[in-house]
Structure 1
């Protein structure tokens, strides 16, 4: 089993007195089911799993239940042995196929004899049909593909090395050159493999076959396209067109998604819900432009000016020619990896729960990411792929505008740690493999487990044809 950050979130949920049911969300094939099953085996003396996709009979039976008491009876028979009060876990998997279970979860929690975890795919789009969301009795845990830190664990990087890197990040101190080189090589490998557990398993196993990794990634891309056909209804063709256009749109100079890629009548208003569907399905990451780089970035976000990144770096790379992965693996200087590096940073920020924004102004230029800090203020982040990583006019313009109140900027590249000043403000040059540490500075939730009261599942209304 791969070590995942979400396991700690599961432990925190279990140890919280009076916790409700837990809904584990996230993209397809990121390891949600496997993680919950391992959690059940390790942390509970009794557990039962009901898979509403694999077991059509169970799906029909639970769908026919008229009350929480009937669901309880079905569960007790499913378990096949007496429940251990307070030490039994019920896991409902693929709940998008039986959404009424989400409603019943409130009463199952109130019963108090066991803990309830639910999971599934496409929940951001499919739970819109739930009649009564149990607000106050349901918590949400968002999972993401494996981060670079989790990839390091899978690769067997010693914990002492990772602790040392965190110390270098905190102190803005140079990393030992040998360790820096090894981590850069590992980062390049992560660019090619990405964070989908099935791909990581092939990439870090005894065979280390990147050809097999690429086949796994391409199969996952096909699976995502099939999901679009299955779940996106009458807009499936439009959603699929956007999904397919994502790699080529990122390759363009400014990386902003051009609406003509969505169709001949490329107006954002016409396709807004198609982009929303992809984001809700965790198939893409949308990064909105803001016009004011000061706190409460959401306030000036321009929804129709955005970049669209892939949800998994490895799947994105599998949609480019194999030569791109080969060049990335050895760090060829003749190839620009700006789009790929940015996609990686977007993933690390999103995995930490940070909202994604960038800044573009005709006079001041463009900064790749703006991170709203937990300590207050905004941290601009530039992502550089070339040797001229210390040339950043737009970043300087933000630092030189006193009214913005920006105290520090970060530049991520393959170079080692160094620090300089611009307009009396600190500019920290950090290795790309520290992006996850930067993400931890964000004003994201203190735990990955959030109350449902802050989450809405809105039905997507398609525009009239």
Structure 2
């Protein structure tokens, strides 16, 4: 089955552009890049897919002249597929395995813009990091992540539920039965995560144990990639740092706890490689005194998220019964899984045309520590976000931030229905997209 993705619309719009830039799909392994391209291919008469990891002989075609029309002539003969502008989609998959093919993309835009070309790669970021330039302004990047909660609801054939959710806001809460249904779906999504294979397995079999096995297989496969990350950083060090990131989730990442026998630089190199591979997503401290938020970021103070809550809960060995059955926030939030989920949803619901950076805020002072889980920019406003247990949850850090930064309102995520408390807007865990599209004046 094909699971509908948000990026499908962007791909269809690109298909209508007769002189579009070549697309570069970027994202971690197994998030659905190739599947989305193959779905788009149904809009074309001809489809030529080249996998540079599997089809090593094709590398030789890219070793000489990179003139795109000559390349296409050779590829068409080799694969016996017509390459006709407007009728053929050329898909260069696992392109990181052929650096010269990456270099060729810029020439497709300059000399053959009428041909539709998409490239993708599971470890593409490593190859791009080593290229001085790969066609800035001539190639359009699209960033993909695992399924968002909204995409999951579509996969579960709940379009009416999704529509009701999209119309709700702190000023217009949902009826309690609908809210409770969404909370139940959200708790299941925390367990499953958004990896397409896992969601497809659940849709077909409705079996969480079977999905757990798929998650374990995915995790094994992703860890096996550590050996490909970089030869200068040993596989075991990357694996040790990765395990430490899982254990330190929810708090500031302490490098000295990550690998006892390694230096700070060695650990940092491993963290950077995990981030490049898309498995780990940093949340960086910002002073948040003004925009852009990145102007006052502190790279030495970071928290770390995992790519997917399903993988996270498997690695941490969480009791999925607690996640599914309990209505107590603390039981559900073991391992800070709710914080992980909100951060990932902020990324998944942002524009696919740029790579968003996540920020948090904290203040360390004697007898006056304060921390806000996330800080985002919404129009010209700086919005603090906290993930709390409920109505009685302490909001001291939130109020301190609002007062100190002169922010107009803050947002809190919990198991509660939509509501407001003074200048704090309350959103259910499942409603990150609604926060991003909310107009406080309505």
Normalising by structure 2, report the TM-score. Answer: 0.90
Residue 164 (structure 1) aligns with:
164
Equivalent of 1:212, from 210, 213, 220?
Answer: 210
**2:311 & 2:436 partners in 1: Cα distance?**
22
| Correspondence for 1:395 among 371, 390, 398 | 398
Q: Distance in 2 between matches of 1:356 and 1:63?
A: 38
Taking a change above 3 Å as real, the CA distance of residues 74 and 431 of structure 1, as seen in their structure-2 partners, is same
Q: Determine if the alignment matches structure 1 residue 286 to structure 2 residue 287.
A: no
Aligned counterparts, 1:62-461, within 5 A = 62-68=61-67, 69-78=69-78, 80-109=80-109, 110-130=111-131, 132-158=133-159, 160-169=160-169, 172-205=171-204, 207-235=205-233, 236-250=235-249, 255-264=251-260, 268-321=264-317, 323-331=318-326, 333=328, 335=331, 337=333, 339-351=336-348, 352-353=350-351, 354-362=356-364, 363=368, 365-373=370-378, 375-384=379-388, 386-401=389-404, 404-421=405-422, 426-439=423-436
What secondary structure does 1:306 align onto? strand
Measured in 2, the distance between the counterparts of 1:269 and 1:190 equals 36
Partner Cα separation in structure 1 for residue 426 and residue 132 of structure 2: 50
How many residues are paired up?
425
| Equivalent-residue separation in structure 2 for 1:400 and 1:67 (angstroms) | 58
Instruction: Give the Å deviation of 1:441.
Output: 6.7
Deviations 1:31-51 (A, max 9, x none): 10011011012x212221111
Does the C-alpha gap of structure 1 residues 297 and 332 become closer, same or farther in structure 2, counting only changes over 3 Å? same
The answer for unaligned runs of 5 or more in structure 2 is none
Q: Distance in 1 between matches of 2:392 and 2:432?
A: 16
Q: For 2:376 and 2:315, how far apart are their aligned partners in 1? A: 29
Tell whether the 8 Å contact from 1:239 to 1:274 is kept in structure 2 after alignment. Answer: yes
Return the offset for 1:268: 4.6
CA contact (8 A) 1:294 1:405 kept: no
CA distance in 1, matches of 2:324, 2:216: 18
Q: Secondary structure at the match of 1:382?
A: strand
For the structure 1 residues 81 and 48, does the alpha-carbon distance in structure 2 shift closer, same or farther, using more than 3 Å as the test? closer
Q: Indicate how the Cα distance of structure 1 residues 184 and 218 shifts in structure 2: closer, same or farther if over 3 A, else same.
A: same
- Measure how far apart 1:70 and its partner are: 4.1
Q: Contact (CA 8 Å) 1:3, 1:154: kept in 2 or not?
A: yes
Q: Distance in 1 between matches of 2:357 and 2:106?
A: 30
How far off is 1:365 after superposition? 0.6
Give the whole-Å Cα distance in 2 for the aligned partners of 1:270 and 1:441: 43
How far, CA to CA, are the matches of 1:65 and 1:440 in structure 2? 49
Asked if 2 retains the 8 angstrom alpha-carbon contact of 1:65 and 1:71, the reply is: no
**Following the alignment from structure 2 to structure 1, what is the Cα–Cα distance between the partners of residues 258 and 81?**
54
> Superposition RMSD on alpha carbons, in Å?
2.2
Q: Quick one: distance in 2 between partners of 1:409 and 1:34?
A: 38
Structure 1 residue 278: deviation in Å? Answer: 1.2
1:384-419 deviation digits (Å, cap 9, x = unpaired): 2x3455421100112223xx2311111100111111
8 Å CA contact 1:413–1:430 kept in 2: the answer is: yes
Q: SS of 2:245's equivalent?
A: helix
SS at match of 1:234: coil
1:269 offset after TM fit, Å? 4.5
Task: For residues 395-446 of structure 1, give each alpha carbon's deviation from its aligned partner in whole angstroms, at most 9, with x where no partner exists.
Answer: 0112223xx231111110011111111xxxx21111000013324579xxxx
| TM-score, L = length of structure 1 | 0.86
Q: Pick closer, same or farther for the CA change 1:179–1:296 going to 2, 3 Å.
A: same
Once the two structures are superposed, residues 317-336 of structure 1 have per-residue CA deviations (whole angstroms, 9 ceiling, x without a partner) of 11122x52221011253625
